[in-house]
Structure 1
Amino acid sequence: MPKPIVVIGGASWDTIIHLPTLPAPEPQTIWPDASYRTLGSTGAGKSLNLAALGNQVVFHTLLGQDAEARQVQDALAHPGLQLLVTETATPTEQHVNLMSADGNRISLFVQPPAEPDSLDWAPMQQLADDCQLAVVNILSYTRSALPWLKTMDVPIWTDLHDYDGTNPHHQPFIDAASVIFLSSDNLPDYRQTMARLINQGKELVVCTHGAEGATLLTATGEWLEQAAMPASQVLDTNGAGDAFFSGFLHRYLEGATLQDCLRAAAICGALCVASQSLVSSDLHPGQLA
């Protein structure tokens, strides 16, 4: 049986509200086009997409002792996904995402993620000892996993999301990772930031640009570009970046070329935005070959 992929950090129970446009900063009453509650956050999205592609996944997250925790666990039920939960006294992480028709978003962290003082990592260490790779998401609690993962010589991938090039919160993850994903949302000169990260010894850096595609830089200085794949429809852009990451990682572990990895990533992203879930029900490994 293939070794599992370890994913650490990031599951929430979210309220998604669709609006024609994002609200102006003024008092007003708004009638949404639609609203619903669903699974959210970056670790959940990566774990479900990877599992849908046939990978064995071990996912660690923090959950409260509440109804939202049970809903998160139910939503993460998948035969290829083993869920390890650390219960906290803090309620389960919850967001309210305001989504506009053009795909933009305002995320309100109405219940921020828990930040426990200490964690018992022993169960996760046992599973990580036989994993292919660890994906460590940039939550505060996951920082304490980085030292033992490095000691075990486990390859680490991370996703910096809307990193601005200077935020010190991201630095421990940058230092630990061999492969970095990020978006160009807050990076006017994203190529300069990518080159700087490669100069710090990274194997690959991938920068996503939403509907404008993605750019990859290798340790040897090779630049690759990937256009976004057309989506059949755009229902919900939440989780598209995590789907993109997962498609890339899946093909990378199969030994595909980097350009094929980018293409697979773009396919996963397009499928995700055509669904109201973090993973499309249409996603299967044959679509990426």
Structure 2
Amino acid sequence: MPARVVIAGPSSWNHLIVLDRLPEPVPHMQFAERAWHTVGGTSAGKALHLAGLGLGPRLFTPLREDEDGARVASSLRAAGVAVEPLRTEDTERHVNLMTAGGERVSLYVSSPSDPDPDDVARVAREVAAAETAVIDLSMLGLRLLESGALGETPLWIDLHDYDGSSAFHEPFVRAAEVVFMNDDRTADPWVLMQSCLDRGPRLAVCTRGAEGAIALAADGTRHRVQALPAEVVDTNGAGDAFMAGFLAAALGGAGIDAALEASAAQARVAIGSRHLHPVLDGIL
């Protein structure tokens, strides 16, 4: 039976290190305030939250048959995610240097290789049979869009810190039904969202950190939601949780305002844990 939601994109094994300040570009020594290993990756984050919301997503993600790949796959499966590993020469790994104030530098220790054409074809068939698909920014996502074999399945795409002009993002924007982004690289998120809608999506959503989030529909309707009070443990994955909360609510029939409220609640779940989702506290 086809999955209701298919997700295609990155998962990783991460080493998170919290410092009192990000390192200056000069030789020196710093002591970590705390550090831990965990599952990372934007697609893994969305899959974890959708699983927690009862959507049973199927995640197609590049994972090598190595120790790190096995850790990622087993952790996600224990959390209720149906993981379908794709062939790659390396499992993606990051070292994230962070501060308590939310600053972050992500060091990519290894990245997945270009996806195998047979894997792309297999994932494309699964996307075409799904009710909804999340296609994340990655070479896998790009190859899927280039395949032209995704059928009529609505595509939800997370543009992250999109600036409105990145050439790599362009095919993702044009293929999407719904786009998400943050306001890190724009002075006017309303203009940024409208520029996305002008290329095809029916809805654009922009997260604004402590200021909450806004959404713009193709008919020009504007929507807003405030961020919910929360004890911030770690901000990694908050945007993925937000998008998952919106998608789950929308698939349940919620309108934009109600979906934004569900998104804000789900983002609070993520930032209250040192992992992408608190379910991993009992696994890792």
Structure 2 equivalent of residue 242 of structure 1:
240
Q: Calculate the TM-score normalised by the size of structure 1.
A: 0.91
Number of the residue aligned with 1:131? 130
AA partner of residue 39 (structure 1): V
Deviation per residue, 1:11-36 (Å, 9 max, x gap): 00000001122222222111111111
Q: Any idea what the Cα deviations from partners look like across 1:150-173, whole Å, max 9, x if unmatched?
A: 651110010010111111011111
Residue in 1 that maps onto 2:252 = 254
Moved more, 78-87 or 159-168: 78-87
Q: Which residue of 2 aligns with 1:81?
A: 81
TM superposition shift of 1:102: 0.7
| Counterpart check, 1:198 vs 2:205 | no
Q: Secondary structure at the match of 1:38?
A: strand
Q: Partners in 2 of 1:209 and 1:150 — Cα distance? A: 34
In percent, how many aligned pairs have the same letter? Answer: 38
Secondary structure at the aligned position of 1:206 is classed as: strand
Deviates more, 1:120-129 or 1:257-266: 120-129
Q: Give the aligned partner of residue 267 of structure 2.
A: 269
Residue in 1 that maps onto 2:19: 19
Q: Residues of 1 paired with 2:118 and 2:105: CA distance?
A: 31
Q: How does 1:81-160 map to 2 (within 5 A)?
A: 81-88=81-88, 90-116=89-115, 118-148=117-147, 151-160=150-159
Q: Is the Cα–Cα contact under 8 Å of residues 51 and 80 in structure 1 kept in the other structure? A: yes
> In 2, distance between residues paired with 1:79 and 1:141?
24
Q: Distance in 2 between matches of 1:144 and 1:2?
A: 21
- Please name the residue that 1:287 is paired with: none
SS in 2 for 1:120: helix
Structure 1 unaligned blocks of 5 or more? 283-289
Quickly say closer, same or farther: Cα 1:196–1:129, change in 2 above 3 A.
closer
CA distance in 1, matches of 2:254, 2:115: 39
Query: Which amino acid is the alignment partner of residue 224 of structure 1?
Result: H
| Counterpart Cα distance in 2 of 1:117 and 1:254 | 35
* TM-score of the pair, normalised by structure 2: 0.93
Q: Which amino acid aligns with 1:59?
A: L
In structure 2, distance between residues paired with 1:43 and 1:150: 21
2-structure distance, mates of 1:61, 1:190: 30
Consecutive aligned runs of 4 or more in structure 1 exceeding 4 Å deviation: 147-151
Task: Count residues in correspondence.
Answer: 280
**TM-aligned CA deviation for residue 83 of structure 1:** 1.3
Residue equivalent to 2:35? 35
The 8 Å contact of residues 2 and 126 in structure 2, kept in 1 or not, is answered as no
Secondary structure in 1 matching 2:264: helix
C-alpha displacement at 1:219, in angstroms?
0.7
Distance in structure 1 (CA, Å) of the matches to 2:97 and 2:154:
35
The corresponding residue for 2:48 is 48
Give the counterpart letter for 2:56 in structure 1: Q
Structure 1 residues 227 and 149, CA gap change in structure 2 (3 angstroms): farther
Letter in 2 for 1:245: M
Output the amino acid matched with 2:194: A
**2:79 touches 2:279 (CA, 8 Å); kept in 1?**
no
Partner of 1:225: 224
